[in-house]
């Protein structure tokens, strides 16, 4: 199976690799893993408390090229979006953008889970109630 | 070679034409070798599909059948019998390897019973994303960080003893967690073997997630072992 050019690009030049201060109230951390392949993904966001815009996003992923590319793309996409906007990103969008083959779809699911987990952590820290629609969407 | 349980259908022996069940390696009537049977691995040994099996009996049957199938015994047999002795031996070896190992046996029998285990079911049917417990994830992540550091240090030609000690400690810990999972799996065998539909379904669900956790841990232990051994 060949990786698409976009996957290879993200794999070779991952965007936004790194770490944010987990203890900061402006930072939300999502840590997710796929038991099937042993991938583990940490995605962090720093949210502007006034505007609710995600100003910074960092990730660190241990896993295959598709998992790294999915999380790299996810950080690019959520940067500059509001928290609610970022929740609209679906794993299928990532699949399409990176042309992931069916066996790698779980990598994109993991990236979507990571975004939700990071936002969920930030909301919990800041006492933001989870709107009913977002919870329903998270259950997909 | 996965088939539905109880798939044995009667077929006629190629030599004596007497019907027998298609799971057998030798015709019960004329004792002639048969082509590789179509049943599951358990039926190769003539044992009931269970998780808690008698390993002594399995080994005994394996040796007995291996001797009976040995290609030397077919040196002067018909050409197709020679080929079947090879094909049946290969099947017997696969069946034995799968059934003697408690984990392989569990995964095999659950799959026969319709369970989806491993990568083939990832992606779809993900109603419970991130089935790995949060505390385990933290440790897995930290361990991966250490592994990366270790590999980097190696590349630079430095030996970081402190890191090595910490990884060895982590490996022992994760080996221990693997043992725990194996024990938890065994604890479910009886409930599954008893055959009560509801209890079997519950035990199967528990074992599928245990097998997922086990794969996660064993991948990790493998990575640590490789890095330490490099």
Sorted by where each begins, the domain ranges of chain B are: 10-100, 123-229
| Reported confidence tier of residue B68, pLDDT bands at 50, 70, 90 | very high
pTM score, whole prediction: 0.72
What integer pLDDT is reported at residue A98 of this predicted model?
A: 92
**B105, B51 contact by CB (below 8 A):** yes
Residues of B in contact with A117 (CB under 8 A): 130
Rounded-to-integer distance, Cα B148 and Cα A14, Å: 16
Q: Say what angle helices A91-98 and A5-12 make with each other, to 10 degrees.
A: 100
List the single range of A22-36, A58-72, B133-147 with lowest mean pLDDT: B133-147
Rounded-to-integer distance, Cα B122 and Cα B208, Å: 13
Residue of chain A nearest B119, judged by CA positions: A36
Q: What is the pLDDT of residues B97-113, one digit of tens each?
A: 999 999 999 999 999 99
What integer pLDDT is reported at residue B189 of this predicted model?
A: 96
Residue from A18, A30, A32, A33 whose CB has the most chain B CBs within 10 Å, to mutate: A33
Q: What is the pLDDT of residues A51-66, one digit of tens each?
A: 999 999 999 999 888 9
**B163, B150 contact by CB (below 8 A):** yes
**Are B123 and A102 a contacting pair at CB < 8 A?**
yes
Residues of B with CB under 8 A from a CB of A: 118-119, 121-124, 126-127, 129-132, 134, 136-138, 140-141, 144-145, 148, 212-213, 215-216, 219-220, 223
Say yes or no to pLDDT of B48 above 60: yes
Instruction: Kindly state the average pLDDT of the residues A99-121.
Output: 92
In this structure, how many other beta carbons lie within 10 angstroms of the beta carbon of residue B35?
15
What integer pLDDT is reported at residue B163 of this predicted model?
A: 83
Which residues touch B21 (CB under 8 Å, ≥6 apart)?
B8, B9, B10, B11, B39
A64 in catalytic set: no
- Out of A35, A109, A139, the one facing B132 most closely (by C-beta) is A35
Please name the residue that has the structure tokens 């088939």. Answer: B3
Instruction: Kindly state the average pLDDT of the residues A131-139.
Output: 48
Q: What is the pLDDT of residues A2-23, one digit of tens each?
A: 788 889 999 888 999 999 999 9
The CA distance from A48 to the nearest CA of chain B, in Å, is: 26
**B33, B78 contact by CB (below 8 A):** no
* Closest C-alpha to A120, from A134, A99, A139, A136: A134
Q: Six-digit token pair at B15?
A: 């030599």
* Closest C-alpha to B119, from B30, B215, B17: B215
Helices (H), chain B: 41-44, 55-69, 79-100, 102-112, 134-155, 161-193, 197-229
What integer pLDDT is reported at residue A55 of this predicted model?
A: 96
What integer pLDDT is reported at residue A128 of this predicted model?
A: 82
**A114, A32 contact by CB (below 8 A):** yes
Residues of B in contact with A34 (CB under 8 A): 122, 130, 132
**Are B212 and A33 a contacting pair at CB < 8 A?**
no
Average pLDDT, whole number, for chain B? 85
Say yes or no to pLDDT of B156 above 60: yes
**A107, A66 contact by CB (below 8 A):** yes
Instruction: Kindly state the average pLDDT of the residues B198-220.
Output: 89
Instruction: For chain B, say whether A136 makes contact (Cβ under 8 Å).
Output: no
What integer pLDDT is reported at residue B230 of this predicted model?
A: 64
ipTM over 0.90: no
Q: Which CATH number does B10-100 carry?
A: 1.10.287.110
Catalytic residue chosen out of the listed positions A57, A68, A74, A107: A107
Contact map slice: A 19-78 vs B, CB within 8 A: 31-38, 40, 42, 60, 62
The CA distance from A109 to the nearest CA of chain B, in Å, is: 7
What integer pLDDT is reported at residue B184 of this predicted model?
A: 95
In this structure, how many other beta carbons lie within 10 angstroms of the beta carbon of residue A101?
14
**Are B122 and A34 a contacting pair at CB < 8 A?**
yes
Q: Six-digit token pair at A62?
A: 């241990």
What integer pLDDT is reported at residue A130 of this predicted model?
A: 62
**Are A106 and B122 a contacting pair at CB < 8 A?**
yes
The CA distance from B54 to the nearest CA of chain A, in Å, is: 30
- Out of B127, B131, B138, the one facing A35 most closely (by C-beta) is B131
**B217, B225 contact by CB (below 8 A):** no
**A86, A94 contact by CB (below 8 A):** no
| Reported confidence tier of residue B130, pLDDT bands at 50, 70, 90 | very low
Our measurement of the distance from residue A55's CA atom to the centroid of its chain's CA atoms, rounded to an integer in Å, reads: 14
What integer pLDDT is reported at residue B103 of this predicted model?
A: 95
**Are B129 and A32 a contacting pair at CB < 8 A?**
yes
What integer pLDDT is reported at residue B127 of this predicted model?
A: 43
Helix/strand/coil for B20: strand
**A120, A28 contact by CB (below 8 A):** yes
What integer pLDDT is reported at residue A136 of this predicted model?
A: 45
Rounded-to-integer distance, Cα A71 and Cα A15, Å: 9
Q: How far is CA B22 from CA A51, B12, B46, B65, B172, in A?
A: 71, 9, 11, 16, 47
Which residues touch B102 (CB under 8 Å, ≥6 apart)?
B182, B185, B186
Rounded-to-integer distance, Cα B96 and Cα B69, Å: 14
What integer pLDDT is reported at residue B132 of this predicted model?
A: 65
Q: Six-digit token pair at B42?
A: 């358990």
What integer pLDDT is reported at residue B212 of this predicted model?
A: 81
Identify the residue with better confidence: A2 or B50: B50
Say yes or no to pLDDT of B126 above 50: no
Instruction: Kindly state the average pLDDT of the residues B168-182.
Output: 91
């Amino acid at each position: 199976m060949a990786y698409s050019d976009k996957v290879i690009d993200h794999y070779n030049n991952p965007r936004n690799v790194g770490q944010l201060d987990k203890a900061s109230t402006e930072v939300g951390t999502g840590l997710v893993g796929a038991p099937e392949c042993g991938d583990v993904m940490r995605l962090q966001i720093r949210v502007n408390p006034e505007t609710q815009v995600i100003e910074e996003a960092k990730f660190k992923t241990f896993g295959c090229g598709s998992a790294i590319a999915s999380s790299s793309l996810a950080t690019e996409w959520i940067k500059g979006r509001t928290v609610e906007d970022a929740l609209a990103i679906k794993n299928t969008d990532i699949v399409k953008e990176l042309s992931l083959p069916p066996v790698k779809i779980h990598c994109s699911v993991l990236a979507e889970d990571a975004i939700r987990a990071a936002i969920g952590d930030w909301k919990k820290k800041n006492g933001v109630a989870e709107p009913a629609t977002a919870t329903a969407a998270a259950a997909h | 070679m996965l088939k539905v349980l109880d798939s044995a259908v009667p077929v006629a022996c190629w030599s004596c034409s007497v019907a027998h069940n298609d799971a057998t390696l030798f015709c019960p009537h004329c004792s002639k070798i048969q082509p590789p049977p179509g049943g599951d691995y358990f039926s190769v040994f003539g044992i009931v599909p269970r998780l808690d099996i008698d390993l002594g009996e399995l080994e005994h049957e394996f040796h007995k059948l291996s001797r009976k199938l040995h290609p030397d015994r077919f040196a002067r047999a018909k050409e197709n019998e020679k080929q079947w002795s090879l094909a049946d031996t290969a099947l017997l070896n696969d069946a034995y390897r799968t059934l003697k190992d408690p984990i392989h046996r569990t995964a095999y029998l659950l799959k026969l019973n319709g369970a989806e285990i491993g990568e083939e079911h990832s992606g779809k049917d993900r109603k419970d994303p991130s089935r790995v417990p949060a505390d385990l994830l933290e440790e897995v992540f930290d361990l991966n960080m250490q592994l990366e550091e270790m590999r980097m240090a190696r590349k630079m030609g430095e030996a970081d003893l402190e890191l090595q000690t910490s990884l060895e400690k982590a490996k022992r810990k994760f080996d221990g967690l693997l043992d725990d999972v194996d024990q938890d799996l065994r604890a479910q065998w009886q409930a599954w073997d008893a055959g009560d539909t509801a209890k079997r379904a519950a035990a199967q669900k528990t074992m599928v997630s245990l097998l997922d956790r086990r794969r996660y841990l064993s991948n990790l232990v493998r990575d640590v072992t490789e890095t330490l051994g490099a």
